C-alpha cells in the first residue's frame, strides 16, 4: 500500500470536485468458480483501491459529503473464519491504515443509505460491473439493475483524477513494465519449432509469479496474430511462423504493464515478414514522435494509420493518396483497432467507467459507428501525467478481405490481386508504454528490443 496520507489526499481531492450527497464505492467479492468456497483469484476493484487501498473482499467505502464522514463497511472475522484463515486484522485496523477512523458492519449499510434516501439526498455510484455489486446497489436503492443510473458527475471526477498519475504510481507502473519486458525476452529465448503456444504462456506466468506479480490480463501468445484477441493456445510453432506475444505483468498493488512484440520462430524473418514488420515499427516510432501535451490521441492514431498506408504502398498492397486512403478508412482492412489506451491500475485504465468519459471529451465524443474508429479507446488531447500504450499493427484477416473484395470496398486504395498472395500471412503488432511529460513523453520500463536486427540477433542466440 501507499502511505496513509496518499489515500486521505485522494479522497479529499475527490470531495472538492463534488457538491453534495453520498459517494458509494463497493469493493469486489470473491467470485465462485463452481461452488461458493472455490473462488477465482481475488482482484479488488481498481477505484476502491485508488481511494481506499484495501485489497480485501466484501467491503464498501462510503464518503458522506454532507456530514463530512468517511466510513468503511465490512465484517469482522469470526472464530469460524480464523480456523480456516488464521488471525486477521480487524476492520478498524485496516481502515486506520488508509486514514478512515469510522467502520461499521456491512449489515448496517442498508439502513444508512435508506436514511439518506428518505432525506432526498443523492447517492453517487460508478457503473457496477460485478453482478454482486449490481445486486447490492439495486437493493440499497430499491431499484432493479436495469433502472440503475450511475452518477455522471462522479464518473467524470474520478476519471479526471485517476488519469493523472502520481510519481509513486509511475514507479509502480515502471516495475510492472520491467517485469513485462523480462517476460517478453523469455518468450524470445524459449520459442522453438514444435513447441505449443501454451508452453510459452506457462513460462511467463511462472516468471511473473516469481517476481511477486500476476498477469495483468490473459496473455495473447499466438502464431495467428491476425486474430486480435486470440486466446487459443494449442497451436504448435513451426519455422516460417511469427509469434505475436501481447503480455503484461501486474504488481501486487495492482498496476499494469502492457507490451507486444512479434518475432519469427526461425532465427530470421523472411522477406515478406521483414517488410511488413518494418512498416509497423515505422508507425510505432512515428506515433511516438507525436506524443506530447495538447495533441489529441485521435490525431496520433490517424498519423500512424497514414504511415501504415505509405508502407503498404511500397509493398504493393495499397495504392493512391495515403491521406485520402485514411480519410476513407481504407487502412482498416489492415489496421482494424485503435492505436492505444490509457493504462494504470487497469491495463485498459478505467474502462469500466465508460470510454466516452475516460478517453474522450464532451466536445469531441467517441465515434461509435465507424469501423476502426469505434475501436479507438482514447481520442482526447493528451495531458502531462497520462500513461498510455501505443500499439500499431498489420492484421491480414481472410474473411475481412473476402467481404471487402465482394463489396468492391476501397478498390481505389487496395490492390486485391497482390493482397491474395498475403492471404495467410497472419499479423504483426508492436506495443510500448509511455508517460506524457510536461514537454513530450518518456518511454516506461527498459527499452525492449524491437528493431529487425536486434530481434534477429537475439533470436539467433537461442534457435
pLDDT at 125 over 90: yes
Residue 351, class by beta-carbon neighbours within 10 Å (0-12 exposed, 13-18 middle, 19+ buried)?
middle
Rounded distance between C-alpha atoms, residue 14 and residue 24, angstroms: 12
Model pLDDT, residue 300? 98
Contact 76, 63 (CB under 8 A): no
- At 77 the pLDDT is 87
The pLDDT tens digits for 153-209 are 999 999 999 999 999 999 999 999 999 999 999 999 999 999 999 999 999 999 999
- pLDDT confidence of residue 153: 97
Rg (CA), the chain: 24
Which strand (E) or helix (H) includes residue 215? strand 214-215
Q: What local confidence, expressed as pLDDT, does residue 230 receive?
A: 86
**SS3 (DSSP) at 433:** strand
Whole-number Å distance between alpha carbons of 220 and 229: 7
Mean predicted confidence (pLDDT) in 346-372: 96
Rounded to whole angstroms, how far apart are CA atoms 350 and 282? Answer: 29
pLDDT above 70 as % of the chain: 100
Give the end-to-end CA distance of the chain in Å, rounded to a whole number.
42
Mean pLDDT calculated for residue range 23-28: 98
- What mean pLDDT is predicted for residues 244-251? 98
How far apart CA 389 and CA 445 sit, in angstroms, is 12
pLDDT at 80: 86
The pLDDT tens digits of the residues spanning 66-94 come to 999 999 999 988 888 888 889 889 999 99
Average pLDDT for 268-286 = 98
Please compute the mean of the pLDDT values over residues 371-384 and round it to a whole number.
97
The average pLDDT across 290-312 equals 98
Residues 6+ apart with CB under 8 A from 146: none
Where b means 16+ CB within 10 Å and e means fewer, 108-146 reads ebeebbeebeeeebbbbbbebeeeebbebbbebbeeeee
Q: What is the pLDDT of residues 209-227, one digit of tens each?
A: 999 999 999 999 999 999 9
* 109-118 contacts, C-beta under 8 A, 24 or more apart: 109/60, 109/62, 109/73, 109/140, 110/139, 110/140, 112/62, 112/71, 113/22, 113/24, 113/140, 113/141, 114/140, 116/21, 116/22, 116/64, 117/141, 117/142
Distance, CA of 249 to CA of 260 (rounded, Å): 12
Rounded average pLDDT over 96-100: 98
Q: pLDDT value at position 85?
A: 87
Identify the pLDDT of residue 25: 98
CA dist., res. 415 & res. 267, Å (int): 31
For 443, the 3-state DSSP assignment is strand
What's the mean per-residue pLDDT of the chain?
97
Calculate mean pLDDT across residues 98-114.
97
Distance CA 265, CA 221 (A): 12
pLDDT of residue 400: 97
Taken in order 245, 201, 257, 367, is the CA torsion positive or negative? positive
Question: What pLDDT, on a 0 to 100 scale, did the predictor assign at position 90?
Answer: 93
Mean pLDDT of the 349-368 span: 96
Residues 364/379, Cβ–Cβ less than 8 Å: yes
Query: For 393-447, what is each residue's pLDDT tens digit?
Result: 999 999 999 999 999 999 999 999 999 999 999 999 999 999 999 999 999 999 9
What's the average model confidence in pLDDT over 47-69?
97
Q: How many residues does the chain have?
A: 463
pLDDT for the residue 350: 98
Give the DSSP letter string of 237-305: P-TT-EEEEEE-EE-TTS-B--EEEEEESSSS--HHHHHHHHHHHHHHHHHHTT-STT-BHHHHHHHHH
Q: Which positions ≥6 away from 103 have C-beta within 8 Å?
A: 71, 72, 73, 74, 91, 92, 95
Whole-structure pTM value: 0.96
pLDDT band at 273 (very low <50, low <70, confident <90, very high): very high
For residues 56 and 44, is the Cβ–Cβ distance under 8 A? yes
Give whole-number Cα distances, 19 to 87, 121, 154, in Å.
41, 12, 10
Amino acid at each position: 500500500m501507499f502511505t496513509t496520507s496518499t489515500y486521505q489526499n485522494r479522497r479529499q481531492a475527490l470531495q472538492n470536485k463534488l457538491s453534495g450527497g453520498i459517494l458509494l464505492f463497493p469493493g469486489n467479492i470473491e467470485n465462485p468458480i463452481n461452488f461458493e468456497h472455490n473462488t477465482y483469484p481475488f482482484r479488488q476493484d481498481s477505484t476502491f483501491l485508488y481511494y481506499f487501498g484495501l485489497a480485501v473482499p466484501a467491503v464498501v467505502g462510503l464518503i458522506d459529503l454532507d456530514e463530512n464522514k468517511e466510513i468503511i463497511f465490512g465484517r469482522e472475522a469470526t472464530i469460524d473464519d480464523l480456523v480456516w484463515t488464521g488471525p486477521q486484522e480487524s476492520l478498524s485496523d485496516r481502515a486506520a491504515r488508509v486514514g478512515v477512523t469510522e467502520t461499521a458492519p456491512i449489515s448496517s449499510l442498508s439502513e444508512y443509505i435508506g436514511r439518506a434516501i428518505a432525506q432526498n439526498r443523492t447517492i453517487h455510484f460508478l457503473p457496477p460491473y460485478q453482478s454482486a455489486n449490481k445486486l447490492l446497489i439495486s437493493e440499497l436503492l430499491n431499484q432493479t439493475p436495469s433502472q440503475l443510473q450511475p452518477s455522471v458527475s462522479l464518473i467524470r471526477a474520478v476519471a479526471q483524477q485517476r488519469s493523472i498519475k502520481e510519481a509513486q504510481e509511475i514507479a509502480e507502473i515502471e516495475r510492472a513494465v520491467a517485469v513485462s519486458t523480462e517476460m517478453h525476452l523469455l518468450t524470445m529465448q524459449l520459442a522453438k519449432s514444435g513447441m505449443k503456444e501454451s508452453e510459452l504462456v506457462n513460462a511467463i506466468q511462472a516468471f511473473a509469479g516469481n517476481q511477486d506479480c500476476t498477469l495483468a490480463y490473459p496473455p495473447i501468445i499466438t502464431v495467428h496474430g491476425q486474430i486480435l484477441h486470440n486466446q487459443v493456445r494449442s497451436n504448435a510453432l513451426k519455422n516460417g511462423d511469427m509469434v505475436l506475444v501481447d503480455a503484461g505483468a501486474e504488481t501486487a498493488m495492482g498496476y499494469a504493464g502492457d507490451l507486444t512484440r512479434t518475432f519469427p520462430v526461425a532465427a530470421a524473418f523472411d522477406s515478406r515478414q521483414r517488410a511488413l514488420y518494418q512498416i509497423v515499427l515505422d508507425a510505432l516510432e512515428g506515433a511516438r514522435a507525436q506524443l506530447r501535451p495538447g495533441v489529441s490521441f485521435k490525431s496520433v492514431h490517424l498519423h500512424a494509420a497514414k504511415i501504415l498506408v505509405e508502407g503498404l504502398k511500397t509493398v504493393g498492397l495499397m495504392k493512391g493518396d495515403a491521406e485520402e486512403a485514411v480519410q476513407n478508412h481504407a487502412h482498416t482492412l489492415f489496421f482494424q483497432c485503435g492505436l492505444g489506451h490509457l493504462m494504470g491500475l487497469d491495463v485498459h485504465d478505467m474502462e469500466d467507467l465508460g470510454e466516452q468519459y475516460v478517453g474522450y471529451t464532451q466536445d469531441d465524443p467517441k465515434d461509435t459507428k465507424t469501423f476502426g474508429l469505434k475501436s479507438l479507446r482514447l481520442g482526447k488531447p493528451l495531458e502531462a501525467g497520462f500513461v498510455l500504450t501505443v500499439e500499431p499493427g498489420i492484421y491480414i484477416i481472410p474473411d475481412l478481405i473476402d467481404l471487402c473484395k465482394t463489396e468492391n470496398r476501397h478498390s481505389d486504395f487496395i490492390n486485391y490481386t497482390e493482397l491474395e498472395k498475403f492471404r495467410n500471412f497472419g499479423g504483426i503488432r508492436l506495443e510500448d508504454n509511455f508517460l506524457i511529460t510536461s514537454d513530450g513523453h518518456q518511454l516506461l520500463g527498459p527499452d525492449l528490443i524491437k528493431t529487425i536486427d536486434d530481434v534477429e540477433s537475439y533470436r539467433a542466440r537461442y534457435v
